[in-house]
Amino acid sequence: MAAEASILVVDGSRTARMMLKKILHKELPSAEITLCASADEARQQLALSQFDLVCQALVLPDADGLELAHEIRNHPNQRYIPVIVVSGDVDERVSRRALGHEVTDYFDKSLGFSALASFIHGYVRPEDEVPGRVLYVEDSRVVAVTTKRMLQGNGFEIEHTITAEEALEKIMESMGDGSLPAYDLVLTDVYLKGSMTGKDLMEKIRINLELDRNQLPMIVMTGDDDAEKQRELLQAGANDLVVKPVEERVLVSKLRFQLNLHQRDKAHLS
């Protein structure tokens, strides 16, 4: 049977590593679990293999966990995978959620290994259909028609705009009197007709409207394969990137993943 997911677990505690491996195999029987006791061991594995998810401790024997997360985001083959930081320690960065854009999410170890295994399951095997309203920004009508039809065929609710200016106006109108926007995700191309680019739109959403990655996830489509420029988009506020030409499987998977996280966060806050 082929592995349904390849997961890298990095924790200085042998007991924690073995417990998590045992419970993950119950939750994801055909998953491939790689265990590392240190950041150095993790670096070696990251150089050898491609992983679907990294689950790491915040404090490692030879490095700060956030340093390793930063290295993963700068790795040419690994920078889009989810990085989950697990910690049972009181940490100011955790309490302030100041983990940086390198970390996808945080899990409190005090909730138990079974809960952590279920948490990871939701990342590597997101629901086939996730409810959510997507605002799609694309200035090519031909591309937009094709992509919109493809996404609707996969169960997504799509609203299309041609310019970033129009998209920003729709988001602001949907917010009403200080409420969160009616959209659950923004999917935008980087280069758009008009005075605003997709990056400009993202900065308006993150800075002017003060909507963070959890409140309004954004996936940016780019034809630029330059690693530094892609990193700039992630640092500017993108939850994820899709490189053009867009593959249906990749785009659908990334949309479901982000919508799944967003819906979980909304349920947690309600």
Do 158 and 102 fall within a single domain? no
Is 193 contained in some domain?
yes
Residues 97 and 206 in one domain: no
Domain boundary among 106, 124, 142: 124
Supply the angle between the helices 248-269 and 141-153 in degrees, to the nearest 10: 60
Whether 137 and 243 map to the same domain: the answer is: yes
Q: Residues 250, 242: contact at Cβ < 8 Å?
A: yes
Residues 144 and 114 grouped into a single domain: no
Is residue 163 situated within a structural domain? yes
Residue 1 within a domain: no
AA letter at 103: V
Asked if residue 91 and residue 142 are part of one domain, the reply reads no
Question: Looking at the structure, do residues 111 and 162 belong to the same domain, yes or no?
Answer: no
- Residue 189: which CATH number? 3.40.50.2300
Do residue 138 and residue 220 come from a single domain? yes
**Are 56 and 149 contained in the same domain?**
no
**SS3 at position 95:** helix
Q: How many domains is the chain built from?
A: 2
Same domain, 85 and 175: no
**Residue 246 DSSP class:** P
DSSP designation for 178? T
- pLDDT given for residue 96 in this prediction: 43
d(CA 107, CA 105): 7
Give the Å distances, CA to CA, from 3 to 29, 31, 44, 52, 211. Answer: 9, 5, 21, 11, 37
In angstroms, the CA 6 to CA 253 distance is: 16
Range of the domain at 176: 133-269
Whole-model pTM: value is: 0.65
Output the tens digit of pLDDT for each of the chain's 270 residues: 345 689 999 999 999 999 999 988 888 888 899 999 999 999 999 989 888 889 999 889 999 888 898 888 777 666 667 888 887 654 554 444 455 567 777 777 777 888 788 778 767 765 556 678 999 999 999 999 999 999 998 889 999 999 999 999 999 999 977 788 999 999 999 999 889 999 999 999 999 999 998 899 999 999 887 777 887 888 888 988 888 888 887 788 788 878 877 877 676 655
Do 142 and 184 belong together in one domain? yes
Do residue 182 and residue 62 come from a single domain? no
Name the domain boundary from 124, 141, 162: 124
Whether residues 145 and 56 fall in one domain: no
